[in-house]
Structure 1
Amino acid sequence: MDGISWRCSDCRGVDANTRGSLVSAVGGPSPPTTRSFAAARENAGRGDLIAALDGIHSELKAIKDQQSLFSSSINFCSDKISDFEDKLNRINEWMRATDRILRQNADIKASVSSLDSRLSELEQSARSRNIEIQGILEKSNENLIEVVKKIAEYIDIDVNQNEIEHVHRIKPKQSDKTKIKSIIVEFRSRKIKEDFLAKSKQRRMRGDKGSSKMNIPGLSECFFVNEHLTLANKILYKEARSVAKTKLFKYVWVKNGMIFLRQDDSSRIIHVKSLNALGDL
Protein backbone atom coordinates (compact mmCIF):
# COMPACT_ATOMS: atom_id res chain seq x y z
CA MET A 1 0.00 0.00 0.00
CA ASP A 2 1.15 3.51 -0.73
CA GLY A 3 2.97 5.19 2.26
CA ILE A 4 3.60 1.92 4.10
CA SER A 5 6.96 0.15 4.04
CA TRP A 6 7.69 -3.38 5.12
CA ARG A 7 10.64 -4.54 7.23
CA CYS A 8 11.71 -7.98 8.20
CA SER A 9 11.71 -9.09 11.80
CA ASP A 10 15.49 -8.46 12.16
CA CYS A 11 15.22 -4.88 10.92
CA ARG A 12 12.17 -3.97 12.99
CA GLY A 13 14.29 -3.77 16.18
CA VAL A 14 16.91 -1.44 14.62
CA ASP A 15 16.45 2.32 14.04
CA ALA A 16 16.88 3.89 10.55
CA ASN A 17 20.46 5.15 11.14
CA THR A 18 21.67 1.74 12.22
CA ARG A 19 19.99 0.12 9.22
CA GLY A 20 21.69 2.59 6.92
CA SER A 21 25.12 1.88 8.45
CA LEU A 22 24.53 -1.79 8.16
CA VAL A 23 23.53 -1.48 4.49
CA SER A 24 26.63 0.61 3.76
CA ALA A 25 28.82 -1.93 5.56
CA VAL A 26 27.71 -4.73 3.27
CA GLY A 27 28.35 -2.68 0.08
CA GLY A 28 25.20 -1.46 -1.45
CA PRO A 29 21.52 -1.67 -1.21
CA SER A 30 21.45 -5.37 -0.68
CA PRO A 31 19.66 -6.22 2.56
CA PRO A 32 21.84 -7.10 5.56
CA THR A 33 22.06 -10.57 6.87
CA THR A 34 20.20 -11.69 9.94
CA ARG A 35 23.46 -12.09 11.93
CA SER A 36 24.62 -8.56 11.11
CA PHE A 37 21.35 -7.09 12.31
CA ALA A 38 21.51 -9.15 15.48
CA ALA A 39 25.08 -8.00 16.23
CA ALA A 40 24.19 -4.39 15.53
CA ARG A 41 21.14 -4.61 17.70
CA GLU A 42 23.19 -6.22 20.47
CA ASN A 43 25.79 -3.43 20.27
CA ALA A 44 23.11 -0.76 20.24
CA GLY A 45 21.37 -2.36 23.19
CA ARG A 46 24.65 -2.60 25.05
CA GLY A 47 25.40 1.09 24.44
CA ASP A 48 21.94 2.05 25.62
CA LEU A 49 22.40 -0.16 28.67
CA ILE A 50 25.78 1.41 29.45
CA ALA A 51 24.30 4.89 29.02
CA ALA A 52 21.38 3.92 31.22
CA LEU A 53 23.72 2.45 33.81
CA ASP A 54 25.84 5.63 33.75
CA GLY A 55 22.71 7.67 34.30
CA ILE A 56 21.61 5.41 37.13
CA HIS A 57 25.09 5.58 38.63
CA SER A 58 25.02 9.37 38.49
CA GLU A 59 21.59 9.43 40.04
CA LEU A 60 22.66 6.96 42.71
CA LYS A 61 25.74 9.07 43.46
CA ALA A 62 23.57 12.16 43.77
CA ILE A 63 21.16 10.26 46.01
CA LYS A 64 24.08 8.96 48.05
CA ASP A 65 25.46 12.50 48.43
CA GLN A 66 22.04 13.75 49.45
CA GLN A 67 21.67 10.83 51.82
CA SER A 68 25.07 11.59 53.34
CA LEU A 69 24.12 15.25 53.76
CA PHE A 70 20.75 14.24 55.16
CA SER A 71 22.47 11.78 57.52
CA SER A 72 24.82 14.55 58.69
CA SER A 73 21.84 16.84 59.27
CA ILE A 74 20.07 14.10 61.18
CA ASN A 75 23.14 13.50 63.32
CA PHE A 76 23.45 17.25 63.96
CA CYS A 77 19.79 17.47 64.90
CA SER A 78 20.14 14.34 67.03
CA ASP A 79 23.08 15.89 68.88
CA LYS A 80 21.10 19.08 69.40
CA ILE A 81 18.11 17.09 70.63
CA SER A 82 20.38 15.20 73.02
CA ASP A 83 21.80 18.48 74.31
CA PHE A 84 18.28 19.85 74.65
CA GLU A 85 17.16 16.74 76.51
CA ASP A 86 20.14 17.04 78.86
CA LYS A 87 19.35 20.70 79.49
CA LEU A 88 15.67 19.89 79.91
CA ASN A 89 16.52 17.18 82.43
CA ARG A 90 18.72 19.62 84.34
CA ILE A 91 15.93 22.22 84.25
CA ASN A 92 13.49 19.61 85.58
CA GLU A 93 15.94 18.77 88.35
CA TRP A 94 16.32 22.45 89.18
CA MET A 95 12.54 22.88 89.19
CA ARG A 96 12.12 19.91 91.51
CA ALA A 97 14.88 21.28 93.74
CA THR A 98 13.24 24.72 93.63
CA ASP A 99 9.89 23.20 94.60
CA ARG A 100 11.56 21.45 97.53
CA ILE A 101 13.25 24.67 98.57
CA LEU A 102 9.98 26.62 98.29
CA ARG A 103 8.18 24.03 100.41
CA GLN A 104 11.00 24.07 102.93
CA ASN A 105 10.96 27.87 102.90
CA ALA A 106 7.21 27.89 103.51
CA ASP A 107 7.65 25.43 106.38
CA ILE A 108 10.47 27.54 107.81
CA LYS A 109 8.37 30.70 107.53
CA ALA A 110 5.49 28.97 109.29
CA SER A 111 7.86 27.73 112.00
CA VAL A 112 9.43 31.18 112.40
CA SER A 113 5.99 32.79 112.58
CA SER A 114 4.94 30.26 115.19
CA LEU A 115 8.15 30.82 117.15
CA ASP A 116 7.73 34.60 116.91
CA SER A 117 4.19 34.28 118.19
CA ARG A 118 5.32 31.99 120.98
CA LEU A 119 8.21 34.29 121.89
CA SER A 120 5.89 37.30 121.94
CA GLU A 121 3.54 35.41 124.24
CA LEU A 122 6.41 34.51 126.56
CA GLU A 123 7.68 38.09 126.57
CA GLN A 124 4.20 39.37 127.31
CA SER A 125 3.71 36.75 129.98
CA ALA A 126 6.93 37.92 131.65
CA ARG A 127 5.30 41.37 131.92
CA SER A 128 2.06 40.11 133.40
CA ARG A 129 2.71 41.98 136.67
CA ASN A 130 3.93 45.19 135.03
CA ILE A 131 2.37 48.54 134.24
CA GLU A 132 3.78 51.34 132.10
CA ILE A 133 3.36 54.95 133.16
CA GLN A 134 3.79 57.51 130.39
CA GLY A 135 4.00 61.29 130.56
CA ILE A 136 5.92 61.78 133.80
CA LEU A 137 8.86 64.12 133.26
CA GLU A 138 12.20 62.83 134.43
CA LYS A 139 13.91 64.80 137.19
CA SER A 140 17.36 64.58 138.65
CA ASN A 141 17.60 62.50 141.82
CA GLU A 142 13.98 61.45 141.46
CA ASN A 143 12.47 58.76 143.66
CA LEU A 144 10.34 56.57 141.42
CA ILE A 145 8.80 54.73 144.38
CA GLU A 146 7.42 58.06 145.62
CA VAL A 147 6.16 58.84 142.13
CA VAL A 148 4.21 55.57 142.07
CA LYS A 149 2.79 56.30 145.53
CA LYS A 150 1.60 59.76 144.41
CA ILE A 151 -0.14 58.22 141.42
CA ALA A 152 -1.70 55.53 143.64
CA GLU A 153 -3.01 58.22 145.97
CA TYR A 154 -4.38 60.17 142.97
CA ILE A 155 -6.32 57.15 141.63
CA ASP A 156 -7.44 56.19 145.16
CA ILE A 157 -5.66 52.89 145.74
CA ASP A 158 -3.45 51.82 148.63
CA VAL A 159 -0.02 50.64 147.53
CA ASN A 160 2.84 50.25 149.94
CA GLN A 161 6.45 49.88 149.05
CA ASN A 162 6.51 46.17 149.88
CA GLU A 163 4.02 45.53 147.06
CA ILE A 164 6.38 46.99 144.47
CA GLU A 165 8.98 44.54 143.21
CA HIS A 166 10.88 46.90 140.96
CA VAL A 167 10.49 50.28 139.25
CA HIS A 168 12.66 51.87 136.57
CA ARG A 169 12.57 54.03 133.45
CA ILE A 170 13.08 52.72 129.92
CA LYS A 171 14.42 54.50 126.88
CA PRO A 172 11.97 55.05 124.03
CA LYS A 173 12.46 52.83 121.01
CA GLN A 174 12.67 55.86 118.77
CA SER A 175 15.85 57.93 118.91
CA ASP A 176 13.99 61.07 120.01
CA LYS A 177 15.71 62.88 122.85
CA THR A 178 12.58 64.95 123.52
CA LYS A 179 10.45 61.86 124.13
CA ILE A 180 9.81 61.20 127.80
CA LYS A 181 11.09 57.91 129.19
CA SER A 182 8.32 55.66 130.46
CA ILE A 183 8.25 54.31 134.00
CA ILE A 184 7.91 50.54 134.33
CA VAL A 185 6.48 49.29 137.61
CA GLU A 186 6.65 45.59 138.47
CA PHE A 187 4.33 44.59 141.29
CA ARG A 188 4.72 41.54 143.44
CA SER A 189 1.36 40.14 142.39
CA ARG A 190 -0.78 40.27 139.29
CA LYS A 191 -3.82 41.22 141.34
CA ILE A 192 -2.22 44.48 142.50
CA LYS A 193 -1.37 45.30 138.91
CA GLU A 194 -4.95 44.61 137.76
CA ASP A 195 -6.38 46.73 140.60
CA PHE A 196 -3.99 49.58 139.76
CA LEU A 197 -5.08 49.54 136.11
CA ALA A 198 -8.77 49.38 137.01
CA LYS A 199 -8.50 52.33 139.40
CA SER A 200 -6.56 54.30 136.79
CA LYS A 201 -9.31 53.72 134.24
CA GLN A 202 -12.01 54.76 136.70
CA ARG A 203 -10.10 57.92 137.58
CA ARG A 204 -9.61 58.77 133.93
CA MET A 205 -13.32 58.27 133.20
CA ARG A 206 -14.26 60.77 135.89
CA GLY A 207 -11.54 63.23 134.89
CA ASP A 208 -11.36 66.69 136.37
CA LYS A 209 -13.67 69.22 134.67
CA GLY A 210 -14.87 66.60 132.20
CA SER A 211 -11.37 65.89 130.87
CA SER A 212 -10.14 62.33 130.37
CA LYS A 213 -6.59 63.45 131.11
CA MET A 214 -4.98 62.58 134.41
CA ASN A 215 -2.77 65.24 135.94
CA ILE A 216 -1.00 65.73 139.22
CA PRO A 217 0.24 69.25 140.03
CA GLY A 218 3.99 69.36 140.29
CA LEU A 219 4.29 65.90 138.72
CA SER A 220 2.57 65.87 135.31
CA GLU A 221 -0.16 67.71 133.48
CA CYS A 222 -1.10 64.62 131.50
CA PHE A 223 -0.03 61.05 132.12
CA PHE A 224 -1.30 57.57 131.25
CA VAL A 225 -1.24 54.21 133.01
CA ASN A 226 -1.29 51.17 130.72
CA GLU A 227 -0.28 47.55 130.59
CA HIS A 228 3.38 47.00 129.82
CA LEU A 229 3.14 45.63 126.27
CA THR A 230 5.88 44.19 124.12
CA LEU A 231 6.95 46.22 121.12
CA ALA A 232 5.04 43.89 118.79
CA ASN A 233 1.86 44.24 120.83
CA LYS A 234 2.29 48.02 121.01
CA ILE A 235 2.41 48.14 117.22
CA LEU A 236 -0.59 45.80 117.02
CA TYR A 237 -2.53 47.90 119.53
CA LYS A 238 -1.79 51.07 117.59
CA GLU A 239 -3.00 49.48 114.35
CA ALA A 240 -6.09 48.11 116.12
CA ARG A 241 -7.01 51.61 117.29
CA SER A 242 -6.55 52.92 113.76
CA VAL A 243 -8.75 50.19 112.29
CA ALA A 244 -11.35 50.71 115.01
CA LYS A 245 -11.52 54.41 114.15
CA THR A 246 -11.77 53.75 110.42
CA LYS A 247 -14.39 50.98 110.64
CA LEU A 248 -16.35 52.60 113.46
CA PHE A 249 -15.65 50.07 116.19
CA LYS A 250 -16.90 51.39 119.50
CA TYR A 251 -14.45 49.58 121.78
CA VAL A 252 -10.75 48.69 121.62
CA TRP A 253 -8.88 47.66 124.76
CA VAL A 254 -6.08 45.59 126.28
CA LYS A 255 -6.57 42.89 128.89
CA ASN A 256 -3.76 40.73 130.26
CA GLY A 257 -1.54 41.69 127.37
CA MET A 258 -4.21 40.75 124.80
CA ILE A 259 -5.90 43.17 122.43
CA PHE A 260 -9.65 43.15 121.85
CA LEU A 261 -12.15 44.90 119.58
CA ARG A 262 -15.91 45.24 119.73
CA GLN A 263 -18.04 47.07 117.21
CA ASP A 264 -20.94 47.84 119.57
CA ASP A 265 -22.56 46.65 122.78
CA SER A 266 -24.39 43.76 121.09
CA SER A 267 -21.61 42.51 118.80
CA ARG A 268 -19.13 39.79 119.57
CA ILE A 269 -15.72 40.47 121.11
CA ILE A 270 -12.82 40.02 118.69
CA HIS A 271 -9.41 38.94 119.98
CA VAL A 272 -6.81 40.52 117.69
CA LYS A 273 -3.78 38.23 117.46
CA SER A 274 -1.97 39.62 114.42
CA LEU A 275 -1.88 42.37 111.84
CA ASN A 276 -3.31 39.92 109.30
CA ALA A 277 -6.34 39.47 111.52
CA LEU A 278 -6.96 43.23 111.35
CA GLY A 279 -6.89 43.07 107.57
CA ASP A 280 -9.67 40.45 107.60
CA LEU A 281 -12.07 42.67 109.55
Structure 2
Amino acid sequence: MRLLRVELGSVAKTMSSFKEELARLNTVVGNLTKKFEDIEVRLNVLETSNRDRTTSVPDDQQLSDLVTQLRVELNDREQEGLQNDIEIAGLDEKNGENPTHLVLSLATKLGYELEERDIVSAERIGSRRAYAASGERPRPRPIVVRMVRRAVRDAMIRAARVRRGTDSAGVMEGEPRRVYVNERLTPTNRNLFFKTREECRRAGWKHVWTRNGRIFTRKSDVTEIRRVRAISDLNKFFGTCNI
Protein backbone atom coordinates (compact mmCIF):
# COMPACT_ATOMS: atom_id res chain seq x y z
CA MET A 1 0.00 0.00 0.00
CA ARG A 2 2.80 2.33 0.95
CA LEU A 3 4.56 1.44 -2.28
CA LEU A 4 1.41 2.30 -4.20
CA ARG A 5 1.26 5.69 -2.50
CA VAL A 6 4.88 6.34 -3.44
CA GLU A 7 4.22 5.46 -7.07
CA LEU A 8 1.08 7.60 -7.17
CA GLY A 9 3.05 10.50 -5.68
CA SER A 10 5.71 10.04 -8.32
CA VAL A 11 3.07 10.05 -11.05
CA ALA A 12 1.48 13.19 -9.61
CA LYS A 13 4.87 14.88 -9.47
CA THR A 14 5.55 13.90 -13.07
CA MET A 15 2.14 15.19 -14.15
CA SER A 16 2.87 18.45 -12.39
CA SER A 17 6.15 18.71 -14.26
CA PHE A 18 4.33 18.02 -17.51
CA LYS A 19 1.82 20.76 -16.71
CA GLU A 20 4.61 23.21 -15.95
CA GLU A 21 6.41 22.27 -19.16
CA LEU A 22 3.19 22.55 -21.11
CA ALA A 23 2.56 25.97 -19.63
CA ARG A 24 6.07 27.03 -20.55
CA LEU A 25 5.64 25.71 -24.07
CA ASN A 26 2.34 27.56 -24.35
CA THR A 27 4.12 30.73 -23.30
CA VAL A 28 6.89 30.15 -25.85
CA VAL A 29 4.38 29.40 -28.60
CA GLY A 30 2.43 32.51 -27.64
CA ASN A 31 5.57 34.63 -27.84
CA LEU A 32 6.51 33.14 -31.19
CA THR A 33 3.01 33.73 -32.51
CA LYS A 34 3.20 37.37 -31.44
CA LYS A 35 6.59 37.74 -33.10
CA PHE A 36 5.27 36.23 -36.32
CA GLU A 37 2.29 38.55 -36.19
CA ASP A 38 4.62 41.52 -35.67
CA ILE A 39 6.74 40.43 -38.63
CA GLU A 40 3.63 40.06 -40.80
CA VAL A 41 2.49 43.54 -39.85
CA ARG A 42 5.91 44.99 -40.71
CA LEU A 43 5.91 43.18 -44.06
CA ASN A 44 2.48 44.57 -44.87
CA VAL A 45 3.67 48.05 -43.97
CA LEU A 46 6.75 47.66 -46.19
CA GLU A 47 4.67 46.35 -49.12
CA THR A 48 2.19 49.20 -48.76
CA SER A 49 5.02 51.71 -48.54
CA ASN A 50 6.63 50.29 -51.67
CA ARG A 51 3.32 50.44 -53.56
CA ASP A 52 2.85 54.03 -52.46
CA ARG A 53 6.30 54.93 -53.76
CA THR A 54 5.76 53.28 -57.13
CA THR A 55 2.33 54.82 -57.62
CA SER A 56 3.12 58.21 -56.19
CA VAL A 57 3.46 61.33 -58.32
CA PRO A 58 6.72 60.98 -60.31
CA ASP A 59 9.47 63.52 -60.02
CA ASP A 60 10.24 66.11 -62.70
CA GLN A 61 12.65 63.84 -64.58
CA GLN A 62 10.17 60.97 -64.65
CA LEU A 63 7.46 63.29 -65.91
CA SER A 64 9.78 64.70 -68.56
CA ASP A 65 10.76 61.20 -69.72
CA LEU A 66 7.12 60.13 -69.83
CA VAL A 67 6.08 63.18 -71.86
CA THR A 68 8.97 62.63 -74.29
CA GLN A 69 8.03 58.96 -74.71
CA LEU A 70 4.38 59.79 -75.38
CA ARG A 71 5.34 62.47 -77.91
CA VAL A 72 7.63 60.05 -79.73
CA GLU A 73 4.92 57.38 -79.85
CA LEU A 74 2.34 59.87 -81.10
CA ASN A 75 4.73 61.12 -83.78
CA ASP A 76 5.47 57.53 -84.85
CA ARG A 77 1.74 56.88 -85.32
CA GLU A 78 1.39 60.09 -87.33
CA GLN A 79 4.36 59.12 -89.51
CA GLU A 80 2.78 55.74 -90.25
CA GLY A 81 -0.14 57.62 -91.79
CA LEU A 82 2.24 59.15 -94.36
CA GLN A 83 3.81 55.89 -95.53
CA ASN A 84 2.40 56.27 -99.07
CA ASP A 85 3.42 59.92 -99.46
CA ILE A 86 6.32 61.68 -101.15
CA GLU A 87 7.26 65.35 -101.15
CA ILE A 88 8.68 67.02 -104.26
CA ALA A 89 10.55 70.30 -103.88
CA GLY A 90 11.97 72.54 -106.59
CA LEU A 91 9.24 72.58 -109.24
CA ASP A 92 8.24 76.16 -110.05
CA GLU A 93 4.69 77.11 -109.22
CA LYS A 94 2.48 78.51 -111.97
CA ASN A 95 -1.15 79.57 -112.13
CA GLY A 96 -3.40 76.93 -113.64
CA GLU A 97 -0.83 74.16 -113.25
CA ASN A 98 -1.78 70.51 -112.89
CA PRO A 99 0.34 68.99 -110.08
CA THR A 100 -0.52 65.45 -111.14
CA HIS A 101 0.82 66.04 -114.65
CA LEU A 102 3.99 67.59 -113.20
CA VAL A 103 4.54 64.48 -111.09
CA LEU A 104 4.02 62.21 -114.10
CA SER A 105 6.47 64.26 -116.19
CA LEU A 106 9.06 64.13 -113.42
CA ALA A 107 8.64 60.36 -113.09
CA THR A 108 9.26 59.99 -116.82
CA LYS A 109 12.47 62.01 -116.53
CA LEU A 110 13.56 59.81 -113.61
CA GLY A 111 12.98 56.73 -115.75
CA TYR A 112 10.09 55.43 -113.68
CA GLU A 113 6.84 54.35 -115.35
CA LEU A 114 4.30 56.04 -113.12
CA GLU A 115 0.66 56.09 -114.22
CA GLU A 116 -2.07 58.50 -113.21
CA ARG A 117 -3.98 55.67 -111.56
CA ASP A 118 -1.01 55.20 -109.21
CA ILE A 119 -1.64 58.67 -107.75
CA VAL A 120 -4.34 59.25 -105.15
CA SER A 121 -3.69 62.99 -104.86
CA ALA A 122 -1.08 65.63 -105.70
CA GLU A 123 -1.18 69.17 -104.35
CA ARG A 124 0.94 72.07 -103.17
CA ILE A 125 1.06 72.52 -99.40
CA GLY A 126 1.68 75.59 -97.28
CA SER A 127 1.08 79.27 -97.88
CA ARG A 128 2.12 80.72 -101.21
CA ARG A 129 5.36 82.65 -100.80
CA ALA A 130 5.78 86.28 -101.81
CA TYR A 131 8.66 87.74 -103.81
CA ALA A 132 11.55 89.05 -101.75
CA ALA A 133 12.27 92.79 -101.57
CA SER A 134 15.21 92.20 -103.90
CA GLY A 135 12.82 90.88 -106.54
CA GLU A 136 14.23 87.38 -106.24
CA ARG A 137 11.60 84.78 -107.03
CA PRO A 138 10.39 82.85 -104.00
CA ARG A 139 11.00 79.18 -103.48
CA PRO A 140 8.04 77.21 -104.79
CA ARG A 141 5.84 75.35 -102.38
CA PRO A 142 6.47 71.60 -102.33
CA ILE A 143 4.09 69.17 -103.98
CA VAL A 144 2.82 66.39 -101.73
CA VAL A 145 1.86 63.21 -103.56
CA ARG A 146 -0.04 60.29 -102.11
CA MET A 147 0.42 57.02 -103.97
CA VAL A 148 -2.01 54.11 -104.00
CA ARG A 149 0.57 51.81 -102.45
CA ARG A 150 3.75 52.13 -100.47
CA ALA A 151 5.60 50.05 -103.07
CA VAL A 152 4.88 52.72 -105.70
CA ARG A 153 6.15 55.43 -103.39
CA ASP A 154 9.33 53.48 -102.64
CA ALA A 155 9.99 52.87 -106.34
CA MET A 156 9.64 56.59 -107.12
CA ILE A 157 12.07 57.49 -104.32
CA ARG A 158 14.57 54.88 -105.51
CA ALA A 159 14.42 56.27 -109.06
CA ALA A 160 15.08 59.78 -107.72
CA ARG A 161 18.06 58.58 -105.69
CA VAL A 162 19.57 56.82 -108.69
CA ARG A 163 19.31 60.09 -110.63
CA ARG A 164 20.29 62.33 -107.78
CA GLY A 165 20.85 65.88 -109.00
CA THR A 166 17.91 65.89 -111.42
CA ASP A 167 16.55 69.33 -112.29
CA SER A 168 13.26 70.59 -113.68
CA ALA A 169 14.47 70.87 -117.29
CA GLY A 170 12.08 68.99 -119.55
CA VAL A 171 9.50 68.74 -116.79
CA MET A 172 8.28 72.32 -117.06
CA GLU A 173 9.20 75.57 -118.76
CA GLY A 174 11.44 78.16 -117.17
CA GLU A 175 14.89 78.27 -115.64
CA PRO A 176 15.87 74.80 -114.42
CA ARG A 177 15.85 74.19 -110.68
CA ARG A 178 17.27 71.31 -108.72
CA VAL A 179 14.44 68.93 -107.85
CA TYR A 180 14.29 66.89 -104.66
CA VAL A 181 12.09 63.83 -104.14
CA ASN A 182 11.83 62.57 -100.58
CA GLU A 183 9.46 60.66 -98.37
CA ARG A 184 7.06 62.94 -96.58
CA LEU A 185 7.80 63.58 -92.90
CA THR A 186 5.63 64.81 -90.07
CA PRO A 187 6.34 68.40 -88.95
CA THR A 188 8.11 66.98 -85.89
CA ASN A 189 10.34 64.70 -87.97
CA ARG A 190 11.01 67.42 -90.54
CA ASN A 191 12.23 69.76 -87.81
CA LEU A 192 14.24 66.97 -86.19
CA PHE A 193 15.82 66.04 -89.53
CA PHE A 194 16.85 69.66 -90.10
CA LYS A 195 18.42 69.88 -86.65
CA THR A 196 20.17 66.54 -87.14
CA ARG A 197 21.72 67.75 -90.41
CA GLU A 198 22.91 70.93 -88.71
CA GLU A 199 24.46 69.01 -85.82
CA CYS A 200 26.13 66.55 -88.18
CA ARG A 201 27.55 69.44 -90.20
CA ARG A 202 28.82 71.14 -87.04
CA ALA A 203 30.38 67.94 -85.67
CA GLY A 204 31.78 66.75 -88.99
CA TRP A 205 29.60 63.67 -89.24
CA LYS A 206 29.35 62.31 -92.77
CA HIS A 207 25.87 60.83 -93.18
CA VAL A 208 22.29 61.70 -92.26
CA TRP A 209 19.24 60.26 -94.02
CA THR A 210 15.66 59.09 -93.60
CA ARG A 211 14.16 55.70 -94.31
CA ASN A 212 10.51 54.81 -93.76
CA GLY A 213 9.99 58.00 -91.80
CA ARG A 214 12.90 57.29 -89.47
CA ILE A 215 15.97 59.49 -89.14
CA PHE A 216 19.44 57.95 -89.09
CA THR A 217 22.96 59.33 -88.82
CA ARG A 218 26.46 57.94 -89.09
CA LYS A 219 29.78 59.56 -88.32
CA SER A 220 31.65 57.76 -91.11
CA ASP A 221 31.34 54.80 -93.46
CA VAL A 222 32.69 52.40 -90.81
CA THR A 223 30.96 53.64 -87.65
CA GLU A 224 27.65 52.40 -86.27
CA ILE A 225 24.34 53.69 -87.58
CA ARG A 226 22.34 55.61 -85.00
CA ARG A 227 18.65 56.39 -85.06
CA VAL A 228 17.45 59.83 -83.98
CA ARG A 229 13.99 59.84 -82.41
CA ALA A 230 14.09 63.04 -80.35
CA ILE A 231 16.23 66.06 -79.49
CA SER A 232 17.47 64.10 -76.47
CA ASP A 233 19.22 61.73 -78.91
CA LEU A 234 21.08 64.67 -80.47
CA ASN A 235 22.16 65.76 -77.00
CA LYS A 236 23.38 62.23 -76.37
CA PHE A 237 25.29 61.94 -79.67
CA PHE A 238 26.68 65.47 -79.97
CA GLY A 239 26.47 66.99 -76.50
CA THR A 240 24.10 69.86 -75.83
CA CYS A 241 22.14 70.68 -78.97
CA ASN A 242 22.60 74.38 -79.68
CA ILE A 243 20.06 74.67 -82.47
1:81-230 matched pairs, under 5 angstroms: 103=58, 108-172=63-127, 176-177=129-130, 178-204=138-164, 212=165, 214-217=167-170, 218=173, 220-230=176-186
Shift of residue 196, structure 1, vs aligned partner:
0.6
Shift of residue 108, structure 1, vs aligned partner:
4.6
CA shift digits 1:4-58 (9 cap, x unpaired): xxxxxxxxxxxxxxxxxxxxxxxxxxxxxxxxxxxxxxxxxxxxxxxxxxxxxxx
Shift of residue 115, structure 1, vs aligned partner:
2.4
1:257-276 matched pairs, under 5 angstroms: 257-276=213-232
Q: Is the 8 A contact 1:132 1:184 kept in 2?
A: yes
Which residues of structure 2 form unaligned runs of 5+?
1-55, 131-137, 238-243
Distance 1:250 1:107 in 2: 34
Fraction of identical pairs, as percent: 25
RMSD in angstroms over aligned alpha carbons?
2.1
**Structure 2 match to 1:250:** 206
Distance 2:192 2:100 in 1: 30
Letter in 1 for 2:69: S
Letter in 2 for 1:236: L
**Structure 2 match to 1:95:** none
Larger relative helix fraction = 1
Distance 2:220 2:64 in 1: 36
Three-state SS of the structure 2 residue aligned to 1:222 is coil
Letter in 2 for 1:214: D
Which residues of structure 1 form unaligned runs of 5+?
1-99, 205-211
Q: Is the 8 A contact 1:240 1:278 kept in 2?
A: yes
Distance 1:194 1:274 in 2: 25
Aligned pairs, number = 172
